[in-house]
Structure 1
């Protein structure tokens, strides 16, 4: 089958950050505003993820709408995993961050031992695709705990925490493009860091002013970022179709 992961571009990172923000605000919206509760929200989100991933695994190529829907839903599920540990079971944020970091490391080790690569450019088998989504789930859960740990556990606040993670991503970008650091390594570091960045931004926009946020509300913020995601998916779809037409045209010329 064809590679099931999109090309990594600036638009990819923009939509990824928006997806992580929606993961934070969407989980809070379902949990608090709609009154699903933590358990109910987790069940609904996990069920939606199971259906979405079943569709994702059934197709044999990258389809933007399916892929990014799963990214948004798995972001919500990752947030809920962290919230269940911290709010449901009373696990400290520092410990939950460590737990998910170990889980992500274990996923990477198992992936590499099985496939001898962690590259997202070769997600062309069901096994690699499974490892890919497992790693993403742990990355989202880790990012949620880390973001909350910095903002709340360490008392930095939401805006300073967002600035810290944005600065860390900038360092990774300099390492990749300025010093030619490993593409695979820098991609996954940036992927993990965008999650606490998105979580911090989500909390900044939605938490009350008394708690250091801007108080816009989870519903409005989720809708705003979802609109950006939908716009990005539309661009991805147009780009993919244009690339497909070019490939077919080139194949026709070669055949002629």
Structure 2
């Protein structure tokens, strides 16, 4: 039977190393989730779309929690399902409650801060490099889900309410994504804050450019199914590359082992 220490070590590598490839795949998943959710909602009735997105989300999460190490295909499957579910849920909630994108953004921002606050109170850290217990893994995925909802609402607010359009919004959010990453690299800015801020921005970046490609008003007017399929293929190719080369596998085992061993 595995000791408590061994179980913790098994969970160390379940979150990938943050590399350029990580950000590229992440943006592709947000774009694919945005357009596919819209395509799916238009192709089937809404209750069925919601039900299937919920099943997909919980099924992928169950698979992720069942494995003991970082498996790229499993990890990124969860991110894709979170993206699809997050888009559907955010749109449904906004429609049912009649909230404007601004109100929705404020609500989801409060939700994200609540999750992060509970995470920090319980664990005294928000670092993704310290996720070696089930509880921290649960906080991690709750935060990811919250960032998707927030990013969806913020993207809708800038593109629609502020009339910036999808392409301009995509450029704006790209700048907002890159700035904290550069500041954390070359300046004394908190790396945890920089990561989560940039992570939130990936949602409106991917969604804005994907919507721009599929939009017939000021966009390229491509079929949503075609855009979804293209992005899905790119994701599969990149995740396959990561799986084959082992790029992106967490290299923080040595650092975290000392934390695990500490009394």
Matched residue, 2:45: 36
Instruction: Tell me which of 137, 140, 162 is aligned to 2:170.
Output: 162
Instruction: Tell me which of 51, 72, 83 is aligned to 1:64.
Output: 72
Instruction: Tell me which of 139, 160, 175 is aligned to 2:147.
Output: 139
Shift of 1:243: 7.5
- Give the Cα separation in 1 of the matches to 2:36 and 2:226: 10
After superposition, give the CA deviation of every residue in 1:144-165 in whole Å (9 maximum; x if it has no partner). Answer: 0100110011111111100110
- Give the Cα separation in 1 of the matches to 2:242 and 2:103: 38
Root-mean-square deviation (CA), in Å?
Answer: 1.8
Higher-RCO chain (CA-CA 8 Å, sequence separation at least 6)? 2
Instruction: Tell me which of 49, 60, 67 is aligned to 1:52.
Output: 60
Shift of 1:136: 0.4
Instruction: Tell me which of 115, 125, 150 is aligned to 1:117.
Output: 125
Matched residue, 2:231: 225
Matched residue, 1:236: 242
Q: Which segments of 5 or more consecutive residues in structure 2 lack a partner in the other structure?
A: 1-9, 254-263
Instruction: Tell me which of 19, 25, 29 is aligned to 2:29.
Output: 19
Classify 1:180/1:242 alpha carbon distance in 2 versus 1 (closer, same or farther; 3 Å): closer
- Give the Cα separation in 1 of the matches to 2:67 and 2:182: 36
SS in 2 for 1:152: helix
Classify 1:116/1:186 alpha carbon distance in 2 versus 1 (closer, same or farther; 3 Å): same
Q: Which moved more, 1:187-196 or 1:199-208?
A: 199-208
Is 1:2 matched up with 2:11?
A: yes
Matched residue, 1:213: 219
Matched residue, 2:4: none
Shift of 1:201: 0.9
Classify 1:181/1:219 alpha carbon distance in 2 versus 1 (closer, same or farther; 3 Å): same
Q: Which segments of 5 or more consecutive residues in structure 1 lack a partner in the other structure?
A: 248-256
Is 1:81 matched up with 2:89?
A: yes
Classify 1:243/1:91 alpha carbon distance in 2 versus 1 (closer, same or farther; 3 Å): closer
After superposition, give the CA deviation of every residue in 1:196-229 in whole Å (9 maximum; x if it has no partner). Answer: 1111112101111xx2221102111111111111
**1:181-192 superposed matches below 5 A:** 181-192=189-200
Shift of 1:166: 0.7
Classify 1:93/1:65 alpha carbon distance in 2 versus 1 (closer, same or farther; 3 Å): same
- Give the Cα separation in 2 of the matches to 1:20 and 1:188: 15
Matched residue, 2:105: 97
Shift of 1:238: 1.6
Question: Which TM-score applies when normalising by structure 1?
Answer: 0.90
